[in-house]
A = this chain, B = another copy of it.
């Protein structure tokens, strides 16, 4: 039996991201059995993935073992499993380790890269939603530089040193900034025999501004910072196709690039099984009511990125970010406990604490509800908030140490090709 049966009602939570973790924490030591399922045995602090991809942080310092988080919680059970289907008629989920029944089901599967159906791009472009994917990007950047050294064909070398980041949201902006700093501070020292001017970092955004969800000032300033760092910012340009070498756009500017990182869209990681009417199809997010209950379902909830709650302020659902996820997880846990005790439950109201993005050393933009600012102070605020949000003292300490070191030394030392990406077959290295 994959999970032992207790006499308490069972809450199954799918996904140990921000939302699922918050819900599980809220249900600790209640008269409930909490079963957390995840395909990883760790929580990923996604906002810092781009620093792993660019050699600034160890992957292990932004991951936290899920079992440890609940070491002293008696009613908690973790299982490493991938959920394949929800059978709501039988109150069961089908997983890679067998069927698991539930009394309450919380879907907190988060989001995945949205290629909008373009299978070429999906095949040849890199994604950055998980730690292994970020490590693949780290390997690929370095492998391309090693290869660029070897060719005497200038076009080929330019292609290997040409990076296209698609999507001008926080992920694209932060990644472009980090790559630009690698170009400025690290790669010329590591590759003195390459002309670093051949390296291009292109940030392609389909609309006319970066960081769409943020203020106009933040957007302008971010663009300004990026341009100063030497990033080529392309606005109103859309990437249509990519074959591993050539990036076709809807404009006159196309790119020869060995590396394309796709940060142009995410969609909910919906699971098979529920009727399509439960889904906002294009976004692949579950329609939920103000209590995060999936429409038409009694005991199935969705929280975080995979949930789409319509409200006046957010007609297309809340932004797919950590804050709504955490807040929904926390409230849902409280509501489930209230339900069990026969008390009245509360609707979700999003408390927008603001948003921020970092572009590089001393360069960040912060939008708080009542105050918007950019530059050095914003950068310190960004660092403080991220450090504070990381789970675990050890992770905080290691990240802090790396940041201090990188800041003082203008360095990023984890530029290691631990598992080659191009030579994938040679993992035994």
Interface residues of A (CB under 8 A from B): 1-2, 4, 39-42, 58-61, 63-65, 67-68, 71-72, 77, 79-80, 97-98, 130-133, 135, 142-143, 146, 149-150, 152, 189-191, 193, 392-395, 397-398, 401-402, 405, 411, 413-419, 424, 427-429
Q: How far, in whole Å, are A401 and B401 apart by their CA atoms in the complex?
A: 9
Among A67, A97, A132: residue with most chain B CB under 10 A: A67
The interface residues of chain B lying within 8 Å CB-to-CB of A414 are 60
Query: Is the beta-carbon distance between B401 and A405 smaller than 8 angstroms?
Result: no
B residues in contact with A135, CB < 8 Å: 418
Given the interface pairs A401-B401, A405-B397, A413-B65, the reply to whether A149 lies near B79 with Cβ below 8 Å is yes
Smallest CB-CB A-B distances: 3 pairs: A67-B190, A58-B60, A80-B146
Is the pair A97, B150 in contact by a Cβ cutoff of 8 Å?
Answer: yes
Asked whether B58 lies within 8 Å of A398 as measured between CB atoms, the reply is yes
Q: Are B398 and A402 in contact (CB under 8 A)?
A: yes
Docked Cα-Cα span, A48 to B207, in Å, equals 50
Whether B130 and A41, one on each chain, are in contact in the complex, defined by CB atoms closer than 8 angstroms, is: no
Query: What B residues does A1 contact at CB under 8 A?
Result: 152
Q: Are A71 and B41 in contact (CB under 8 A)?
A: no
From known contacts A130-B429, A132-B418, infer whether A61 and B63 are also in contact, taking CB-CB under 8 Å: no
Query: Least Cβ distance of A253 to chain B in Å?
Result: 31
Q: List 13 A-B contacts (CB under 8 A).
A: A2-B150, A40-B417, A40-B429, A42-B416, A42-B418, A60-B418, A63-B418, A65-B190, A68-B189, A68-B413, A77-B193, A133-B428, A393-B405
Q: What's the minimum C-beta distance from A405 to chain B, rounded to whole angstroms?
A: 5
Seed contacts A41-B415, A63-B416, A98-B150; 5 additional CB < 8 Å A-B pairs: A40-B417, A80-B146, A132-B429, A394-B402, A401-B401
Distance between Cα atoms of A133 and B426 in the complex (Å): 12
* Contact call A132/B41, Cβ cutoff below 8 A: no
- Nearest B residue (CB) for A419: B132
| Minimum distance in angstroms from A95 CB to a CB of chain B | 11
Contact B428 A413, beta carbon cutoff 8 Å: no
Residue of B nearest to A193 (CB): B4
> Which residue on B lies nearest to A65, using beta carbons?
B415
Q: Which residues of B contact A143 (CB under 8 A)?
A: 80
**B416 to A65, Cβ gap below 8 A?**
yes
Shortest A94–chain B CB gap in Å is 15
Q: Is the Cβ of A417 less than 8 Å from the Cβ of B58?
A: no
Contacting pair A428 B394 (CB below 8 A)? no
Nearest Cβ on chain B to A295's Cβ, whole angstroms: 30
What's the least CB distance linking A7 to chain B, in Å?
A: 16
- B132 and A428 contact, CB distance less than 8 A: yes
